[in-house]
Structure 1
Amino acid sequence: MMRRKATRLPRYRAIAAKLQADIGEGRYPVGSLLPPELKLCKTFRASRHTMREALRVITEQGLISRRAGAGSVVTAATQPTVFTHTVGSLAQWMRYPAGTYRETVSAGEIVADKRLAALIKCEPGTRWFRILSVRRSDRHPEPLAWTEIYVLPKYAAVIRQKNHPHTSVHQQVEKMFGETVERAQLEVFATRISAKLARVLKVRPGTAALTMVRRYWGGRSGHFETTVVTHPEGRYTYSLELTRQLKSLK
């Protein structure tokens, strides 16, 4: 029986794997600098071209960030989980793809103060039923996002539905109460993860994040739901594809 020779990794891949292991084992902690490029070349007995390719690999893996004049900064101990949300229709825009779910942390009625009212776009003093949860994926262990859902108190029964973790709340409201979404609004902005939220999402305090606010209006109750989702840097990609349809002139 013929034996196949083991396939050797390209030199730059082998170096990248060693650097990845060193970072994962804590030899180069998050926030520290890798040795200068020339020193790495000497350590691994590699050319500058080979070393740059190795550094490119672990940069693309999200383990380091390279800045001119600042060197290579370690940004993560393990390769981050990135979840891609591709949108090609209004229905896809209003809900997350299959394979993710919400893990409820707490739920209860609250009164919007000035700060929350400004975020939700409602009058201060408005009562809401708030559902706090962590968005997770069946495929990845790391939390994908922190979710705050604000729905009118008369629709609070959605929390008791068996499929609540896997179904968008506005869909549950429509099915249970007949409230159909007639208008939806999306607001996106950059923010930082607080120390309290960092513990839940398993990231460092101050980590960059993307916050997405979705507001829904129905024909019966007007503005009936707002969802605020905060995604830590490197765990979420939002992809939007639109096709222009031209009508022929007659």
Structure 2
Amino acid sequence: MGMDEPRPPASRHIALAAELTEEIAAGVYPVGGRFPTEQELQERFAVGRHTVREALKVMAEQGLLWRRRKTGTVVLAERPVSPYVHSLRDLRGLFDFAQSTRLTVHHEGYAALSDRTLSGFTDLPDKRWLRIAGLRTTRADDAPLCWSEVLVPERFVPDRDQVRTGERAMYEIVMEQFGLKLDHVEQEITAGELPRQFASLLRAEAEAAALIVRRRYVAHTGATFEISHNLYPASRYSVRSVLRQRV
């Protein structure tokens, strides 16, 4: 994957991090060795300083790099060793998540409002929803991350061929196709046990601790156009947020 291809600004640092991660896995930069400087990476990939810093931050959070002022950056591991760290400072963080992971669809069909998959949210007028469910993996090393279920009201069902590729997030496709703008995302994280039927698929122990992340996507019109449920082995996922005092 070349960095000379045009990409949306929000995904550029994710693409850079993925490419550099692949190079580390291939032995281009050995463990314990020096990693290129920010300036070297800027020149090589023709990207800005911010893009490089954000890419290196992602790799450091995954345990691949150790960064220290004056001494430079050192490679710590061939593959990510820490849980997936999801930095949520704004809505762009959700788009970054979609760019750094991939969904392989296992099930596709319609669900009624009364189904348990829609539990946890209220004020949903739509009665019929398209349900897409499957295994979400990291793009960097194709490691299983979570079991993901995405539900979209029938009136907002997007081009299903685009959905099946797993290359773009469902909400991105829906917004583009129906001319919607994302107003806000409601998120709820709860703890539980990993059901036995998902353990082998996720390469985890049955009944181990799990995290359930539920999100509701609301458009500028006030309509809920997507609900997602992601089930993670607890050791695979961490959320990092920045909370600021209102002035």
TM tier, smaller = 0.5 to 0.7
Partner residue in 2 for 1:224:
225
Distance 1:151 1:206, change over 3 A: same
Deviation string, structure 1 residues 69-97 (Cα, Å, up to 9, x no partner): xxxxxxxxxx9652111122222146516
- Please, which runs of 5 or more residues in structure 2 have no aligned partner? 1-62, 64-79
1:130 aligns with 2:146: no
Instruction: Please report how far the alpha carbon of residue 136 of structure 1 lies from its aligned counterpart in structure 2 after TM superposition.
Output: 0.5
Range 120-129 or range 231-240, more displaced: 120-129
TM-score with structure 2 setting the length: 0.59
Of 209-218 and 119-128, the range deviating more from structure 2 = 119-128
Q: How does 1:31-42 map to 2 (within 5 A)?
A: none
2:144 aligned counterpart, secondary structure: coil
- Name the amino acid aligned to 1:194: P
The letter of the residue matching 2:135 is V
- For 1:1-250, list aligned pairs within 5 A: 82-93=83-94, 96=97, 98-113=99-114, 115-121=116-122, 126-161=127-162, 165-220=166-221, 222-244=223-245, 246=247
Residues 98-136 of structure 1 show CA distances to partners (whole Å, capped at 9, x for unaligned) of 331111112111213253443343569921100002110
1-side partners of 2:140 and 2:86: how far apart? 14
Q: CA offset at residue 162 of structure 1?
A: 6.8
* CA pair 154-121 structure 1, distance change in 2 beyond 3 A: same
**Structure 1 pair 92–163 and aligned structure 2 pair: CA distance change class (3 A):** farther
Report the Cα distance in structure 1 between the residues aligned to 2:187 and 2:104, rounded to whole angstroms: 23
Can you list the C-alpha shifts for 1:211-238, whole angstroms capped at 9, x where unaligned?
1100012244712210001111211111
When the two structures are aligned, how many residues end up with a matched partner?
A: 169
The Cα RMSD (Å) is 2.9
Contact 1:80 1:234 in 2 (8 A): no
Q: d(CA) in 1 for partners of 2:176 and 2:237?
A: 29
Separation in structure 2 between the aligned mates of residue 148 and residue 89 of structure 1, nearest angstrom: 23
CA offsets per residue over residues 23-54 of structure 1, 9 Å max, x none? xxxxxxxxxxxxxxxxxxxxxxxxxxxxxxxx
1:130, 1:148 within 8 Å by CA — same for their partners in 2?
yes
- The farther-off stretch of 226-235 and 138-147 is 138-147
Q: Is the 8 A contact 1:142 1:202 kept in 2?
A: no
Tell me the CA shift for residue 161 of structure 1: 1.3
- Counterpart CA distance in 1 for 2:166 and 2:121 is 22
Q: Structure 1 residues 114 and 131, CA, compared in 2 at 3 Å: closer, same or farther?
A: closer
Q: Secondary structure at the match of 1:166?
A: coil
Q: Distance in 1 between matches of 2:193 and 2:229?
A: 14
Give the corresponding residue for 2:66: none
> What SS does the aligned partner of 2:166 have?
helix
Cα 1:114/1:139, change in 2 over 3 Å: closer
In 2, the alpha carbon distance for the partners of 1:123 and 1:224 equals 10
Unpaired stretches in structure 1, ≥5 consecutive residues: 1-60, 62-78
How big is the shift at 1:173?
0.9
The structure that has the greater radius of gyration is 1
Identity among equivalent pairs (%): 21
